[in-house]
Amino acid sequence: MRRRGLAAMLLIALALPACSGPDPAATVSSPDATEPSGPAATGGAPTSGPPTGEPTPTGDASPGALPAPVQRDPSPTATASPTTTPPATAVPAAVGHTDPGAVDVVVNKRRPLVPLDFAPADLRQPGVATATENALLRPDVAAAVEQMFTAAGDDGVGLVLVSGYRSFATQESTYASWVAQYGDAAGADTVSARPGYSEHQTGLAFDIGQADGACTLVLCFRDTPAGQWAAAHAADFGFILRYPLGFHEITGFSAESWHFRYVGRDVSLAMKAAGTQTLEEHFGLPAAPSY
């Protein structure tokens, strides 16, 4: 059973493209989300350790297809052509938490990155088990991920890094693939961020899975040992569960029990102590249910 689970995991990994939504020629993601559909591939156990060579800002990866998470239910109302990416909206009037290079940046459907094609100055792949060869993160985030994965392992829980940074270009193709999948932008917008509006583009966000591949990138991940451990302990390492169940009217996205975001321990622990579920609420920012 363990071999079959690991095989399924790499299967998924080979198919991932981009928050969400994946790109047929890139690695996986979240509202960001993963690639909409396609046959599963075959593969083996997750790899571990950092890759050789420096990351490129484009973030290209292996082609493939990832089944859409079953809990995602796009709106039936079409708002754009299947092949057209809707134009970006204006930068919101609200100020604060807009620096894309800061750990307190808030990116959502009403708070695009400035500039839209922002790319982190430095990225590296953490030395942890990964489902792809391109799970890049900012160095500070990668270090915190390594600490969290080590702690999970000490508690007998196996975590695997499913995806990390996604470039503007990767998110562009990821979003387009979701629009094609659902036939309109309204459906795609429930599961995938438009290019320039994805947390993955900051290098601060990542998706995780359980080492045996159980419930990868589907809502039932929250009920796995890995999902439960991460939800309980992520704050200790500076992470928050960015898209909790029942808060889509605030975050703008369906629940993603696998998508975590680095905010630093001051913020993560303050949110945990107060029982605050979203960054929007913590920083007193408007909800972002739509663009």
**134 band by pLDDT with thresholds 50, 70 and 90:** confident
Please list, residue by residue across 202-221, b when 16 or more beta carbons sit within 10 angstroms of its beta carbon and e when fewer do.
bbbbbbbbbbbbbbbbbbeb
86 neighbors 80 (Cβ within 8 angstroms): yes
Kindly report, residue by residue over 190-222, the tens digit of the pLDDT: 889 999 999 999 999 999 999 999 999 999 999
Q: Which of 54, 256, 280, 281 is catalytic?
A: 256
Rounded Cα–Cα distance for residues 65 and 168 (Å) = 19
Which residues lie below 8 Å from residue 194, measured CB to CB, with a gap of 6+? 85, 86, 88, 109, 171, 175, 291
Report the pLDDT value the prediction gives residue 31, as an integer from 0 to 100: 55
pLDDT at 78 over 80: no
Architecture in CATH of 2-282: 2-Layer Sandwich (3.30)
Please state, rounded to an integer, the average pLDDT across all residues of the chain: 77
Give the mean pLDDT of 29-34: 46
Report the pLDDT value the prediction gives residue 228, as an integer from 0 to 100: 98
Rounded Cα–Cα distance for residues 209 and 217 (Å) = 7
Kindly report, residue by residue over 86-110, the tens digit of the pLDDT: 444 444 444 689 999 999 999 999 9
pLDDT at 7 over 90: no
CA angle 195, 170, 49 (to 5 degrees): 125
30 neighbors 200 (Cβ within 8 angstroms): yes
Query: What is the crossing angle of helices 225-233 and 139-154, to 10°?
Result: 120
Q: What's the DSSP call for residue 261?
A: E
Rounded Cα–Cα distance for residues 231 and 222 (Å) = 8
256 tagged catalytic: yes
